[in-house]
Structure 1
């Protein structure tokens, strides 16, 4: 990432507190002009936290869905951001297959068999039933394979070939993985850890085809009674040491798009026992709070602003812009001449950074048209004449002097309100 030193340091501090489990139920607000890296910092935070800590990213306008209420959409987002790490012990059989012997009846309907399995210390013979024989044949288990069998589910996992069989060239593919023969006892107890979000637990328990509803995305409304039961059960597991709660992060982009009802809900939800860290981003200054006549900083009610830690992002300076442009060119596989890079940097300071980044690929097409390897100043100039930026667009509208349709808005007060 480039620039925004203060905001990134603040995000780093918050991350440290999240990893230590100290900051659940708090809120942060990234406030700054458009294209100053608010969303980029949030994405950086998500990657730093890793896959184990839940990170949910929503745009505020997603809440206004016709299929479910606003509060339900926010509750689901909150519960997606809280993970439950469930520990369970399973018994597994692990060893090297010495021999598999399968006997079929004359009709072929019933199968019986014996599996001889060994570790460095011991060897055992197991009797096999039809289901187990099918599992072993599906995994193509042969003598000399090192396998692991979960006793509870009967799942067979092939870990690789034994080093002792590394000279059996005929039974070997190019991608064969060799492993050591396991040591100790054949039957072992192993601790398995699963991490699921509270929302996934809600969905699985809320309907008959719950597990499939996760893939279909059709979760619908979930009853509060069910959620209370799940909260009680998770609290019970927590006390017994079976489960651990991982408060994650909920990132709400364009938070000023929420209305007063959602803000009231957020205020209450942050006080719950099970609440994640809520990070919000807004590019508004003094703006009207949706659903009211009142204006407030960043479009958020004052009582919510009082709860949040506000981090400001500043517009980039020229050196940062130049670095961002270079990174974008590498991403898009475009080469700029040094003059073009300087022109593009000054263009970004006069117009907007996003406009300058969008012009890169257009200028690249123009450069290829004149069979040039690098994008030069003339390509940027031509692209600049073809595509308007926001300031020139406003200027052009003034020059049109009312020739466009539906231009009349009303008096000055209405203009200010819409702005």
Structure 2
């Protein structure tokens, strides 16, 4: 039974943590809620950092989950710029801040997120080497892209994933020269496979982006702290005035690991291991968002999902579980991207090796289509490109384990709704 004498502590001030705090209040919890963030900014959403805000099309205030006054109005004790350095599971306390403040918890939620992976090569200490994960990163990079555009400068991006491609698109809109270096043969290989990755390569080439596939950066050279070039493992030197490391993110599991919580293996994302109700190996500690690896019955595996929708939905699900509600967290993974005039939404999970067929409905040449990834006739994932209002039937097909012939799926005369249970 939850009552007003209980204290719930949330560690991590991103979208998952902020939405968990909101849900506790909307679900009627009247106890103490403590939200601790190591960032100095109020909790914010991350998609604008590589999209609208980076392009200067959205104001800074638009990224925040709640107005600053919301936290006091809802009696949320918000501690900004404070790092939690220890969890004592026996005493049920967390220690945080420079003064070592100790707070007791009845339930604890970890929403510590992920951090950008670093390039382990010479030259990464130069001032012109960037990452994009936090609002401060985006603010800095926004100025860099504007400067590169004015001066015909060169940006080299290590990594052709979503962040790398979205920043490439933004950089070209600013007028910067862009080279993307990636070890795979197509962009987004681990998500879309080679079949659809080529589409994004063609899109960016049309806008002047140069790709260097099948290679990795080995060195960033500079002078007086300024980046001058980046070298790849085939010996080629790429002109560069700035470098973005966009080689993925690693879950921030240090705090959980030190507390003795179980950690998922790498195949399941390497995050804090939770059950279907987002409980960790300690029944009074939960985890949600980028840091959590959870079992997903639809795909018969453990997943760690780094996208916005997982934080948006996972934080509230964990909050309800903390309140004793029956929770089964099995949302279909979802994300979206905007690059130049291409907008897309992706639902499901179908990494290379998990599917045996890709079916297209629509016109790839016009970039108006839906792609489906199938295994033995069952829809694992769907991506709609410049086609809208189809996410619900796509997700219903995935959730219903729908079996359908490729011919039926590709036929635009067959309404998707008729295929979704």
TM-score where L is the length of structure 1: 0.24
TM-score where L is the length of structure 2: 0.24
Name the one with the larger helix percent. Answer: 1
- More RCO (CA 8 Å, sep 6+): 1
Name the one with the larger strand percent. Answer: 2
